[in-house]
C-alpha cells in the first residue's frame, strides 16, 4: 500500500522506487556482510554468475507491479495478486528444492487463495 501510494499519489517512478528500496536493503545488510566477510568467498565459490543473474532479474516482477499501479490498475486487485508470489515460491521450493512445507506456510497459501477468490466476487 505504501508503494502504491508512492507511485500513484506522489508520482515516483517504479524503477526509482525499487532502486532506492534496494539501496536501503544494502545499507541495512552491510553489518551482516562485514560479520561474514571471511566466509563469503567460500560460500559464493562457483555461484557468482547465478547470484548476479538472480539479483538482476528479481526486481523485475516488482517493478512490473508498480508500473501497473502507475498505469491506473486498482491497488485492491494488484496487491493480492502480488502476494500470490508467496504461494508460487512455496510451490517452487517444495517441488524444485524439495523443501518441507509446514502447516504455517500451507495456511498462508490457503489464506491468500481465499482472499483473491473473495476479491473476485467484489
Angle, helices 75-83/59-70, rounded to nearest 10 degrees? 170
Dump pLDDT digits (tens) for 77-107: 777 777 777 677 778 888 888 888 888 888 8
Enter the pTM of the model.
Answer: 0.59
Rg (CA), the chain: 18
The grid cell for 69 is: 499501479
Q: Which of 93, 117, 95, 120 is nearest to 105 (CA)?
A: 93
Q: Which of 115, 2, 117 is nearest to 66 (CA)?
A: 2
Dump pLDDT digits (tens) for 16-73: 888 898 899 999 999 998 998 888 888 888 888 888 888 888 888 888 888 888 888 8
Amino acid at each position: 500500500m505504501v508503494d502504491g501510494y508512492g507511485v500513484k499519489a506522489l508520482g515516483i517512478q517504479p524503477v526509482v522506487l525499487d532502486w532506492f528500496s534496494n539501496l536501503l536493503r544494502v545499507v541495512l545488510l552491510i553489518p551482516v556482510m562485514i560479520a561474514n566477510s571471511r566466509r563469503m568467498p567460500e560460500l559464493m565459490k562457483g555461484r557468482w554468475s547465478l547470484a548476479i543473474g538472480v539479483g538482476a532479474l528479481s526486481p523485475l516482477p516488482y517493478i512490473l507491479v508498480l508500473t501497473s499501479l502507475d498505469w491506473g490498475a486498482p491497488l485492491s486487485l494488484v496487491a493480492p495478486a502480488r502476494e500470490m508470489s508467496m504461494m508460487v515460491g512455496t510451490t517452487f521450493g517444495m517441488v524444485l528444492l524439495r523443501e518441507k512445507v509446514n502447516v504455517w506456510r500451507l495456511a498462508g497459501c490457503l489464506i491468500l487463495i481465499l482472499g483473491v477468490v473473495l476479491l473476485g466476487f467484489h
